[in-house]
Structure 1
Amino acid sequence: MTWIRRACAAGGGLLLNAATGVAASALIALLLVSAALVPVAGLGVPLLRRVLALVRSLAGVQRAWVRRVLDPDPRPAPHESGPRRELAWLAVHAVTWPVPALVVWGLLAAFDYIYFRVNVVQTSILNTFSLSVSAAAIATITLAALPLIRTGQARLSALLLLPEATATARIRQLTESRAVVVDAQAAELRRIERDLHDGAQAKLIAIRMNLGLARDLRDPAEVRMMIDEAREIAGQALTDLRDLVRGVHPPVLADRGLAGAVEAAALLCPVPVEVEIDLPGRLEAPVESAVYFATAEALTNVAKHSGASRAWLRVSHAGGLLRVAVRDDGRGGADRAAGTGLRGIDRRLSAFDGRLVVRSPPGGPTELTMELPCALS
């Protein structure tokens, strides 16, 4: 099974991590001894240099392990840390490496306490079955925890040994989000082109044909009929163009800003929405548009999927961060992997370095929190 292989691989990685942890503890002792011997001429300084070289070698082993765990892709390695960070890692690693052993020991100690101290284990079939099931559960929890512990220790080491790893990951995330936005913009342009071709353009062609026929007619009644028909088609074309423009940038957003636009969207929601807005200024137009459409999509999800009787919308800006929270009292269970609505919201926000947090346990309530770093004008 895949998860068992992953757990075994994590266990092997943690054994290597434990080995470097033991070595880190030994090197700390050697560092203290060599530092104490620095005043001794011809002994302390050379010993300290050798110990620092060993620290650097050990940090290189750990750095390679961290890259394998967190970033297995064959990309150029980020800039490596300096001696100060390596010494800081040595101290932290010497303290944190026993964590996996402590977790496993704690699970086994709890198992031992429950079944061999609290309960009196008898040789009945029921107690034997219960003991076997509990032992299997402890083993399963241990195997499931190993990859999480390995990743946690790798990230802790990366903070000190790979100071640019976080920036590299962020650059990659922004590159991916930019590609998604470019694709979304191309799809939106194709949609607009299709709507213009099938809607307004077709109606304008019909108007031109009607007017051409009316010019060649001699009967005033027929001319009037063709002109009335052209007038009716022109009204439909105007409606199509207004709907198209409203989909690109709603007039209420341009006139009243984000606060007025989300209030209007809340009023149109079939579910009663309580709105609270603390937004003392305007945002940049692209940010306003992205947040408006993301909020409108969230309210649409509430109306279509939540089964809620009420919803709450909060918009605030503080410390350079815009926060929009949409909460409902529905059935819960919202999952961004199960539908395109939440993924669409996430894509809109990621283009502006924003993020979407989804809290939706089964049975509800559901709360979507959108956060974007931005300034007010």
Structure 2
Amino acid sequence: MRDWQLGGALATYLGATQEPTPAGLAEVVGTAVGATGCALTVDGARYLWGTDTGPWLEHPITYQGEDVGTLAIAPAGPVDELAVAVAAPLAMVRLAAETDALRRAGDTAARELIDDRWRAAAEMEAERRGLERDLHDGAQHHLVALRMSLGLLEHAVATGGVQERVTDLLARVDNAERVLVNTAAGVLPVALVINGLAAALTTELASHPEVVLDVAGLRRRYPAVVESAVYFVCLEAVNNSRKHAPGARVTVTVRDSYRGLEFTATDNGPGFDVTAAGSGLHNLSARATAVGGTVDVRSAPGHGTRITGFVPL
């Protein structure tokens, strides 16, 4: 009789709920057979209905040759027939739980994939902007010098001495091409990598008579990202002065301090309204900020320009 009652109770329970659970099955079994307690163990988790007075006699439940859990009722007694009756519903419950776990895992994986795609896109954009800044701050410096050399060549055509200017111009074209190729490939100047910031700035600015470089106070090496950032900031500062204040005297100073790395770039040009500045000053700030530093630009029409920067230890 109790097997018939259990079968009917299980059918009613499974038909009335969309998500059968081990705890719900334990309640249905215990109620149908008049037990005081019923316990189902599935995947190591124990689901109890009624009182946990025991003693319990665990009985394995198998479905199609596979263990799906154990069943025990109180008071203890033979549960062979009950185990057979509850096997298929318990296997269904277990399968539903596994399917739900796989669904949640799939949802998590999908979200992680979306996050990874967004992260990859953001990193690609950051790399693109970094390359754009490198080209702007490094290679453009050479192109500005090339344009100025063309102006000198034009003057030489009118006054003589063309051959010397042409030779210098060709050398500058070769140098600009080299810098463009290296920058696009992510290659930093050899002097910067091997000998540090002071050597790299000396090598780069030595051929510009209007630029005075003071690196006597720079004796310490810094992380590569810091030296690279400050190197390009200084080149961009010189580049801005040469473009907007042609002929002005430019002084670049880089030195150590007890707090970190300090640098300045000043010119005695016509100055400008800082509030109306373009992307060049934004690049300076972005580079310094990327390594935890700051850049301050002060200028006014008729008063020259002073750029100061600092990267803490």
Bin the TM-score by the shorter chain. 0.3 to 0.5
Higher relative CO (Cα under 8 Å, sequence separation at least 6) belongs to 1
From the CA coordinates, give the structure whose radius of gyration is larger: 2
Higher percent of residues as helix? 1
Using the size of structure 2 for normalisation, the TM-score is: 0.42
